[in-house]
């Protein structure tokens, strides 16, 4: 909560190879993820703003060849002081994606979660770039 309310800022890089849950969904774990997490306030609520930038190698489900997928992710998470407050917020907005304040918040787990959630369900080359395009 203090981090968010004070508008603190943390940034860094992590190797894709260090994010274990990505191993089964990527063709290669080469590369890095640049991240930045900033605290702030929105509508009086403390929030964490997460920015990620990386390029991952996925397997095209159409031609079965690897391709590069750029990911630029920007997310904002309201931070509840406890589960009770989070429950109240979720009753008002069932789609709210918020975090419970935790002094031990694992930023790398949050980074990995957001990458996994951002990956396409059926990865494919961009239109016209697939070796099988037009078949």
Q: Is 55 helix (H, G, I), strand (E, B) or coil?
A: strand
Q: CA 128, 133, 135 angle in degrees (round to 5)? A: 155
Beta strand 66-80 pairing with 45-59: antiparallel
What is the residue-averaged pLDDT of the chain?
91
Q: Is 51 helix (H, G, I), strand (E, B) or coil?
A: strand
How much is the pLDDT for 135?
41
129 pLDDT more than 90 = no
> CA nearest 4: which of 67, 98, 119?
98
How much is the pLDDT for 132?
54
Q: What percent of the chain has pLDDT over 70?
A: 97
57/66 Cα distance (integer angstroms)? 6
Give me the numbers of helices (H) and strands (E) for the chain, helices first please.
Answer: 3, 5
Q: What is the pTM of this model?
A: 0.85
What percent helix, strand, coil does the chain show, rounded to 5? 25, 40, 40
The pLDDT tens digits of the residues spanning 41-96 come to: 988 889 999 999 999 999 999 899 999 999 999 999 999 999 999 899 889 888 88
Per-domain residue ranges for the chain?
Answer: 2-118
User: Which contiguous run of DSSP H or E holds residue 4?
Assistant: helix 2-5
- The structure tokens listed for 49 are 């703003």
């Amino acid at each position: 909560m203090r981090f968010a309310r004070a508008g603190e800022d943390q940034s860094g890089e992590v190797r894709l190879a260090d994010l274990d849950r990505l191993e089964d969904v990527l063709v290669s774990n080469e590369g890095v993820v640049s991240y930045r997490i900033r605290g702030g306030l929105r509508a009086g609520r403390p929030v964490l703003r997460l920015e990620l930038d990386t390029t991952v190698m996925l397997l095209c489900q159409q031609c079965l060849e690897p391709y590069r997928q750029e990911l630029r992710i920007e997310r904002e998470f309201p931070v509840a002081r406890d589960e009770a407050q989070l429950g109240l917020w979720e009753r008002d907005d069932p789609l709210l994606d918020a975090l419970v304040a935790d002094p031990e918040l694992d930023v790398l787990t949050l980074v990995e979660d957001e990458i996994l959630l951002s990956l396409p369900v059926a990865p494919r080359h961009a239109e016209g770039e697939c070796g099988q395009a037009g078949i």
